[in-house]
Homo-oligomer: A and B are copies of this chain.
Amino acid sequence: MAKFQVIILGCGSATPSARHQPSCQVVDFRDKLFMIDCGEGAQSQFRRQGLKFSRLSHIFISHLHGDHLFGLPGLLSTMSLHEVGGKVTIHIFREGAELLKSWMDFFNRDSSFEIVYDIIEPGERRVVYEDSSLTVETFPLYHRTACTGYIFREKPKLRHLKGDMVRFHNVPVSRYQSIKEGADYEKEDGTVVPNAALTTEADPSCSYAYCSDTLYSQRVANDIKGVDTVYHEATYDSSLAAQAKDRGHSTAAQAADVAKKAGAKQLIIGHFSKRYVNGEKILLDEACGVFGNSVVLANEGLRVNLE
């Protein structure tokens, strides 16, 4: 199966700590890398995971708090020193693009690649990336400042040819693609072989939603309905629900509730408060209690299969 996974590079909140780095993760989709958020130190975490800068050409920023983007100047400068070519697109709110551009125009003026700024408007729902097999779309999150989530959706895959039946009906190779896409096969004598006789079901297409940082909200559950895997911030445990609300964050139980209402199969929780110095098991237990068993505690270097 083609690779579709997320690699956690940072899952702490606010500042780097002894346990965690600030927010950053990479979606690895069939050898293309997509970075989501870029806290300070992202470039070091990226290289520690053995990832190649040349495969990274889109960076999606959720909101304009420093712990989600202070790694950008260093990452982009290092990519230029590594002579990455082509274009790198930063999906970001307008003020962030302006501030970043002012730094990059000065500190990275001889950049080896073009930096393209894709301006996201607050509250916008839009497909911000599309290729032949994947889309990335935005949806609103609810934080202390404008914040956007991202949904990665594999496009429908091709059906599998039944080799024996294709040979039996002498289907020419030139027709394989259209049949894999679902077409029937019409023989020269006019006989129609229905697609179902020639193919089996395509592999399922998978999807992944990134939700950090956000208040607990049913609107998020609605927006990510049907997504297979959800990353949702779980900054606090339920005993701190008031603080979570006050600071525009969620508890682990709330994260699980959103994922459950969305019908997700798998939940990854992250963006942990620094207070959990001995580990986030309390958050895992809380989320499992609401969601079921398929809850994963984010950690730097963790790779989660999205297929």
State the A residues within 8 Å of B (CB): 14-16, 18, 40-41, 43-44, 47-48, 64-67, 70-71, 73-74, 77-78, 81, 95, 99, 102-103, 106-108
The 8 closest A-B pairs by CB, nearest first: A40-B74, A15-B78, A70-B74, A66-B107, A66-B77, A16-B44, A70-B73, A41-B41
Complex Cα spacing A95 to B300, Å: 36
Residue A40 contacts which of B14, B15, B71 (CB distance < 8 angstroms)? B71
CB of B73 within 8 A of CB of A66, answer yes
Complex Cα spacing A41 to B108, Å: 19
Q: Given the complex, which residues of B lie within 8 Å of A81, measured CB to CB? A: 14-15
Q: Given the complex, which residues of B lie within 8 Å of A71, measured CB to CB? A: 40
Q: Given the complex, which residues of B lie within 8 Å of A48, measured CB to CB? A: 18
Complex Cα spacing A41 to B99, Å: 20
Q: Given the complex, which residues of B lie within 8 Å of A40, measured CB to CB? A: 40-41, 43-44, 71, 73-74
User: Nearest Cβ distance between residue A182 and chain B, in whole angstroms?
Assistant: 48
A65-B107 in contact given A70-B77, A77-B70, A99-B102 (Cβ < 8 Å) = yes
Pick 29 A–B contacts, CB within 8 A, sort by A. Answer: A14-B78, A14-B81, A15-B43, A15-B74, A15-B77, A15-B81, A16-B43, A16-B44, A16-B47, A16-B74, A16-B78, A18-B48, A40-B41, A40-B43, A40-B44, A40-B73, A41-B41, A41-B44, A64-B107, A65-B107, A66-B73, A66-B74, A66-B107, A70-B77, A95-B106, A99-B102, A99-B103, A99-B107, A102-B102
Complex Cα spacing A66 to B109, Å: 11
User: Nearest Cβ distance between residue A25 and chain B, in whole angstroms?
Assistant: 18
Q: Given the complex, which residues of B lie within 8 Å of A73, measured CB to CB? A: 40, 66, 70
Output the nearest chain B residue to A22 by Cβ-Cβ distance.
Answer: B74
Residue A108 contacts which of B66, B99, B107 (CB distance < 8 angstroms)? B66
User: Nearest Cβ distance between residue A50 and chain B, in whole angstroms?
Assistant: 11
CB of B106 within 8 A of CB of A103, answer no
Q: Given the complex, which residues of B lie within 8 Å of A41, measured CB to CB? A: 16, 40-41, 44
Name 14 extra pairs, CB < 8 A, besides A15-B43, A99-B106.
A15-B74, A15-B81, A16-B74, A18-B47, A40-B40, A40-B44, A40-B71, A41-B41, A64-B106, A65-B107, A66-B73, A66-B74, A70-B77, A103-B103
Complex Cα spacing A43 to B77, Å: 19
